[in-house]
Structure 1
Amino acid sequence: MKTKNTNKIALIGTGFVGSSFAFAMLNQGVAHELVMIDLNKEKADGDARDLNHGLAFASPMKIHAGDYSDCHDADIVVITAGANQQPGETRLDLVEKNVKIFKNIVESVMDSGFNGIFLVATNPVDILTYATWKFSGLPKEKVIGSGTILDTARLRYLVGEKFEIDTRNIHAYIMGEHGDTEFPVWSHTTIGASQLSGIVNLEEKTTQDELEDIFVNVRDAAYHIIERKGATYYGIAMGLVRITKAILHNENSILTISALLEGEYGQDDIYIGVPAIINRDGVRNIVELPLNEKEQKQFKHSAETLKAVMKKAL
């Protein structure tokens, strides 16, 4: 029986992303228990054994392989399972394959009596988070997608490089689909306490070209990494741990995740990447930034792209 003070995570999928998430969880000491679930039970068991052998160098944590029945008392179920993005394939190309996989996963988790928070990372993450919400029947605040948390981290890293400032002092957002129609919110980008518009002239052609180069590198980062090593997993794994920590520690942190919109930003009945306040209850509320005219158009285009794919898949 789970004790009152136990933070338990159930991880479904022990591929590249899942095992990287587990390794980062162990190193950061975020939870007390981690159960690893995979169709390949031998792989999940092997990962659990391997991670346990590092406990002497980390914080106390119970790590073991399990099955869907172990989800019944989990605080968070993290889903990284599904078909991977292949070279030349967009995230939206994965829809049909992964919606079928997710229906089985989510129904199996709910059959265990689970009543915690779902955290979805599998692509296309916005559509699969919406599917998880529909299949689970849970309240919208308890179903979260990783959204544009990694894209936002990539943007902060590249802007930090450009201005030679620590990434952690760059405050910027990528919003919209986690994919080709995402966009940077330059109007709300700050370096330390200074607005980007107060540091550079955003109307200047040279500046616009430089910022566009930064954004294109953010948007296409996954393609570049997949071409070179076959998959992306370290960055998104750390992003998932960041969201997990914000939930378990009741942080009320603002993170760019995939959340359900019900009128915010002029959109309804769609999961999409937006800044949101995250705490022990999941999504406390969505932060509605005043976007400029260009950003509003980009957000609308991104939402319409997702809705068109969702109509076919769900």
Structure 2
Amino acid sequence: MGICTKIGIVGMGHVGAHVANSLVLQGIADELYMTEICSGERDRSKKLAAEVQDLGDSLAFCPHNVALHNCGDDYAQLAQCDVIVNCAGDVSLSSKDRDGELFFTTDTAKTFIKTIADAGFHGIWITIANPCDVVATEIWKESGMDPRRIIGTGTALDSSRLKYVLSRVTGYDQHSITAYMLGEHGNSQFAAWSNVYFGGKPLSQLAMEQPERFAFDYAELEAEARKGGYVTYAGKHCTEFAVADAACRLVRAVISNEHYITACSTLLTGEYGEEGFFISLPCVVGADGVEEVMRLDLSDAEIDEFRKSCAHVKENLARTHIL
């Protein structure tokens, strides 16, 4: 990375604006290059100008100054960035169906992926747009980039939701819990219960030693983690804080070359017998993107759930003719 950290954002809706604000507040970016979908009935140029103005007005309260660039729909300007975060979507389309944004986000992504690639982008893509695994696969196919340099936020958010639920029912701090939701960032995701740990001690052992505290209803907690986004959507008609923070955590891992381990969407290369598309597994994230995929010792039932989740992602890839 250069001395001056440059972050690009595509799409300054609810999530994109929160990504920008979080990057500024955390002092992660030195320069922000912000673009918006500005075509036809979806002309959001005024929204973009408003967000840039609002961010600028907040700089006196932030750790350091950030150069803010309103790039309109000139996506080629993002080619100079170290990291680009793709937030281009329309969450209202997912109000009743987790795949509701499928055609909108994949069609929209076609308007900027190749433009940015042709302009010489060699940084890291972090994509939020849903269905996350499908869009991440599309970025790989359209850009021709090394797939390790493309990261979908995937189940990083869902894993956080699972930790939040486990923290609530056990009383332990979330940061002391290791737990992953794996597979698709959607309805087919599942909790890897065989790999849940509290301070290094496996849940299976704790459930035997302290059944009054740890023998909870796994299916109920898993469903709560899976459906957490809809609880948020029902009250405010969007999700924004948690997913934006998940993206910013990945940006920080890349910029700081942390070798941070988290669940995120990456290209499968034979894991559990699957390959050729993106889906979430625990990954090591650093300056080069996904440096390593962690292969957990999953139970037979969990492997079956993983393959079912993969099948759903492949169905959506076929529907959009990406694969």
Shorter-chain TM-score: what band?
over 0.9
Output the CA distance in 1 between the equivalents of 2:21 and 2:45: 18
Aligned to 2:85: 78
What does the per-residue CA deviation read over 1:185-244, in whole Å, with 9 as the maximum and x for residues that have no partner? Answer: 111111112111111149x8x966622211111111112221221011100000000000
- Could you tell me which of 79, 101, 117 is aligned with 2:124? 117
Q: Please name the residue that 1:232 is paired with.
A: 239
Percentage identity across paired residues of the two chains? 29
Aligned positions of 1:114-263 closer than 5 A: 114-201=121-208, 210-263=217-270
Provide the C-alpha distance between the structure 2 equivalents of 1:26 and 1:212, rounded to a whole number of angstroms. 38
Q: Could you tell me which amino acid in structure 2 is paired with residue 54 of structure 1?
A: S
Runs of 4+ aligned residues of structure 1 deviating over 3 Å after TM superposition are 85-88, 206-209
Query: Mean alpha-carbon deviation: is it higher for 132-141 or for 304-313?
Result: 304-313
1:104 alignment partner AA: T
Q: What does residue 59 of structure 1 align with?
A: 63
Taking structure 1 as the reference length, what is the TM-score of the superposition?
Answer: 0.94
What SS does the corresponding residue of 1:104 show, helix, strand or coil?
coil
CA distance in 1, matches of 2:225, 2:92: 17
Higher mean displacement: 287-296 or 63-72: 63-72
Per the TM alignment, residue 89 of structure 1 is displaced from its structure 2 partner at its CA by 2.4
**Structure 2 counterpart of 1:41, one-letter code:** S
97-106 vs 169-178, which deviates more?
Answer: 97-106
Residues 151-186 of structure 1: CA deviation (Å, up to 9, x unaligned): 000001110111101111111000000010100011
Unaligned runs of 5+ in 1: none
- Offset from partner CA, 1:132-158 (integer Å, 9 cap, x none): 110111011111111100000000111
Indicate the SS of the match to 1:53: helix
Contact 1:91-1:124 at 8 Å conserved across structures = yes
Q: Describe the shift of the 1:271–1:85 C-alpha distance in structure 2 as closer, same or farther (beyond 3 A).
A: farther
Q: Could you tell me whether the CA contact under 8 Å between 2:282 and 2:294 is conserved in 1? A: yes
Q: CA deviation at 1:97?
A: 2.1
Q: Check the 8 A contact 2:254/2:286 in 1, yes or no.
A: yes
1:17 and 2:15 correspond: yes
Query: Structure 2: which amino acid aligns with 1:56?
Result: A
Q: What residue number does 1:7 align with? A: 5
Q: Is contact 2:154-2:279 (8 Å) kept?
A: yes
2:281 and 2:295 map into 1 onto residues whose CA distance is 8
Aligned CA distance change for structure 1 residues 163 and 209 (closer, same or farther; 3 Å): closer
Secondary structure of 2:134's counterpart equals helix
Deviation per residue, 1:222-281 (Å, 9 max, x gap):
122212210111000000000000000000011111000011121111200111000000
**Farther off after superposition, 99-108 or 157-166:** 99-108
Equivalent AA in structure 2 for residue 15 of structure 1: G
Verify the 8 A CA contact 2:95 2:233 in the aligned structure 1: no
Q: Is the contact between residue 126 and residue 145 of structure 1 (CA under 8 Å) also seen in structure 2?
A: yes
Rounded to whole Å, the distance in 2 between the matches of 1:302 and 1:278 is: 23
1:294 corresponds in structure 2 to: 301
2:41 — aligned with what?
none
Separation in 1, partners of 2:305, 2:195 = 15
Q: Is the 8 A contact 1:277 1:284 kept in 2?
A: yes
1:87–1:80 distance in 2 versus 1, CA, 3 Å? closer
Q: CA contact under 8 A between 2:93 and 2:100: conserved in structure 1?
A: no
SS in 2 for 1:115: coil
Structure-2 separation of matches of 1:301 and 1:152: 19
Q: 1:260-279 alignment to 2 at 5 Å?
A: 260-279=267-286
Match of 2:317 in 1: 310
Name the Cα RMSD after superposition: 1.9
Secondary structure of the corresponding residue to residue 91 of structure 1 = coil
